[in-house]
């Protein structure tokens, strides 16, 4: 397209609801480009017709054409596996801020992420993920480098609710996942600039017809095309690292639902664990 969405919007007279929809789309471009007009409307408590009218006012034949243009912008601006700004350049961009200003900006960014991701559409995916965890024969959690710690924490928390929870580590991935079946679940955690190891694990799970949950920051992430369920977590940050607060919130929501939906079994398991944890102090 010759003009970006923002450039078209600047030349268009929009209503309050249409402006609200546009603001949501631009702030959540990576996920909004794959959402229906009804899903966007539901998140904003406005009618899908307002989103459709926005598309037409921006010069598109229908909302599908707008969504396709949004997808082109996402994949054109940020190719899979690449970030817009390299980490060392992002760090240098903050040199003009004082320590107090830096902390205030970080806090505002975290609050924005939580507010963005605490929406009905994401919570539906979280609920779907909890059901998948409870119904799977075995659950494997893959996350590497910065995400390895989250995978380990996720496993520890879920292991309080049910058995057969495993992390996929840097040991040969093939050895760990070669026996996957259609009764198993793989939860893959990966954020820009997406890990090849995590993508490889997802491909193995797909070949085994295992159910796949992907927790990432964009529907355009390389892993997303293999997923049965995608949980989007805002992760953009103005420093050299991704912001993971929203992911941690969604991870804890999943564990919360798993524990609640298997309350009796979880209570029994926690009681058995407590006896030995008291002896070892390995809390």
Q: Spell out the domains of the chain, with CATH numbers in brackets.
A: 5-77 (1.10.10.10), 115-280 (3.40.50.10490)
Which SS3 state, helix, strand or coil, does residue 97 take? coil
- Higher-scoring residue by pLDDT: 11, 116: 116
Percent of the chain with pLDDT over 70: 91
The pLDDT assigned to 75 comes to 52
The pLDDT assigned to 7 comes to 66
pLDDT digits (tens, 9 = 90+) for 184-227: 999 999 998 899 999 999 999 999 999 999 999 987 788 988 99
d(CA 182, CA 207): 9
Residue 96, pLDDT > 90, answer no
Strand partners of residue 141 = 167, 187
The pLDDT assigned to 78 comes to 46
| Token pair recorded at residue 148 | 């390895």
Cis omega before residue 193 (within 30°)?
Answer: yes
Q: Give yes or no for a contact between 61 and 69, defined as CB atoms under 8 angstroms apart.
A: no
The pLDDT assigned to 237 comes to 81
The pLDDT assigned to 84 comes to 53
The pLDDT assigned to 24 comes to 87
The pLDDT assigned to 73 comes to 66
| Token pair recorded at residue 121 | 């559409």
Global pTM value: 0.71
Which of 259, 261, 184 lies closest to 228, judged by CA? 184
Residue 85, pLDDT > 70, answer no
């Amino acid at each position: 397209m010759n003009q970006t969405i923002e450039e078209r919007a600047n030349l268009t007279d929009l209503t309050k609801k249409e402006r609200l929809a546009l603001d949501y789309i631009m702030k959540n471009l990576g996920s909004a480009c794959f959402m229906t007009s009804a899903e966007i409307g539901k998140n904003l408590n406005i009618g899908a017709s307002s989103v459709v009218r926005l598309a037409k006012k921006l010069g598109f034949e229908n909302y599908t054409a707008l969504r396709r243009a949004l997808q082109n912008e996402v994949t054109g601006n940020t190719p899979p596996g690449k970030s817009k700004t390299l980490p060392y350049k992002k760090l240098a961009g903050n040199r003009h801020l004082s320590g107090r200003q830096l902390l205030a900006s970080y806090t505002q960014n975290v609050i924005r992420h939580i507010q963005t991701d605490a929406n009905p559409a994401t919570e539906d995916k979280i609920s779907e993920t909890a059901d998948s965890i409870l119904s799977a024969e075995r659950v494997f959690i893959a996350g590497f480098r910065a995400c390895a710690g989250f995978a380990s924490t996720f496993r520890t928390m879920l292991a309080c609710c049910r058995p057969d929870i495993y992390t996929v580590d840097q040991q040969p991935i093939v050895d760990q996942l070669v026996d996957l079946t259609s009764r198993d679940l793989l939860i893959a955690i990966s954020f820009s600039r997406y890990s090849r190891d995590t993508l490889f694990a997802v491909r193995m799970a797909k070949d085994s017809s295992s159910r796949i949950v992907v927790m990432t920051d964009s529907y355009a992430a390389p892993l997303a095309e293999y997923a049965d369920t995608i949980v989007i977590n805002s992760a953009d940050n103005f420093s050299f690292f991704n912001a993971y607060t929203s992911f941690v919130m969604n991870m804890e929501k999943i564990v919360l639902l798993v524990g609640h939906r298997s309350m009796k079994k979880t209570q029994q398991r926690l009681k058995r664990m407590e006896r030995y944890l008291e002896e070892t102090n390995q809390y």
